[in-house]
Amino acid sequence: MKQKKALLALEDGTVFEGVSFGAKGEACGEVVFNTSMAGYQEIITDPSYKGQIVIMTYPLIGNYGVNSRDVESGRPFVEGFVVKECSFAPSNWRSEHSLDEYLKNNGIMGVGDIDTRALTRHIRLEGAMRAVLSTEDLDEKSLVKKAKSSPGLIGRDLVKDVTSDKISHWNRAGKYKVVVIDCGVKLNILRELANNRCNVSVVPANTKPEHILQMKPHGVLLSNGPGDPAGVPYVVETVRKLMGKLPIFGICLGQQMLGLALGGRTYKLKFGHHGGNHPVKDLKTGKIAITVQNHGFCVDIDSLNKREIEVTHINLNDNTLEGIRHRKLPIFSVQFHPEASPGPHDARYLFGEFVKMMDRFKRGTR
């Protein structure tokens, strides 16, 4: 099968040549790498990747195909998908489509035959940067210029592009009523809440705190999502008004928004944490969990009031903040993804901790 030439141009002038699969055309976004060896369908459909072109470091992608169950949202949200080698002949009993067909049907560009080791190393050294993928404009200088003029992530509100447009109910059974503020929530977060006896409602990110309180939940979950937490001040303000009134659990972007609501600062990481093999230490137990991560921003540890906020988890690769807990209020959060999908399930127990917190608050013991 003859494939069309495609170029990936970075804003610093670096250009990689490959071959196209999936949709044709042109796309821009911040280019980042993901170190997971499997789970590409979950990665492609993770709303947190809105605004980003994802490179897979594992060399062969697409070998087990795509199916209708392994999705984390209603559609793919990556701006583009870059691999070393794409399999066009998947082999798995659950496979319904090839990766090529799936991306093509959803209008997502894919590029193969890229030296992903060289590209990943370049990003590790120079940092994540804006980029353009194209099968139409093959002029390198033109593409670099487009990359430089494309929007970055800092200060942008990407949550509005991924949040739900109305209140919905994931399930109606369960002892604990939980409202999920949807900033781009992954479906497995909802599944894990339901598996922990929670009655789950999902509300748009711009839902007013008064409306959430009127729903009389036992707790609120701040979901993951794309981009810069400073770009969604309306969610941060909602969180600030909910603090102390009911238990709150934040995941990924949820932690960052919580950190801002608590008076902290956030900053952009050089190349972010994306993948299923990030070691995190629980400072209370000393245990190490291998976690799933997908974020480009982080809460500044030194910006937090340590008299009110306890640091609970630290990333062992770079010592960045991975978890916090309020010393008095029923509030905690983690920067990694306890729901996995894809990835290891070392941190799944945190959903149980959220349930225990809601139970204590309900009984007035906190």
Q: Look up 252 and say whether it is catalytic.
A: yes
Q: Provide DSSP, 133-144.
A: EESS---HHHHH
CB atoms within 10 A of CB 145: 15
Strand, helix or coil for residue 72: coil
Distance CA 181, CA 166 (A): 11
At position 250, the amino acid (one-letter code) is G
Instruction: Please pick, among 28, 252, 273, 313, the residue that the annotation labels catalytic.
Output: 252
Asked whether 201 and 258 are in contact (CB, 8 A), the reply is: no
At position 222, the amino acid (one-letter code) is L
Instruction: Please pick, among 122, 218, 313, 337, the residue that the annotation labels catalytic.
Output: 337
- Strands 85-86 and 60-61, by their bridges, are parallel
Strand, helix or coil for residue 253: helix
Instruction: Please pick, among 30, 42, 192, 339, the residue that the annotation labels catalytic.
Output: 339
Q: Is 341 left (phi over 0), alpha (psi -120 to 50) or beta?
A: left
Find the DSSP H helices in the chain: 40-44, 99-105, 116-126, 140-149, 187-195, 209-214, 233-242, 253-261, 350-363
Q: Look up 198 and say whether it is catalytic.
A: no
Work out whether the CA dihedral 142, 58, 336, 338 comes out positive or negative.
Answer: positive
Work out whether the CA dihedral 336, 45, 127, 58 comes out positive or negative.
Answer: positive
Strand, helix or coil for residue 354: helix
Q: Look up 79 and say whether it is catalytic.
A: no
Which residue numbers are catalytic?
252, 337, 339
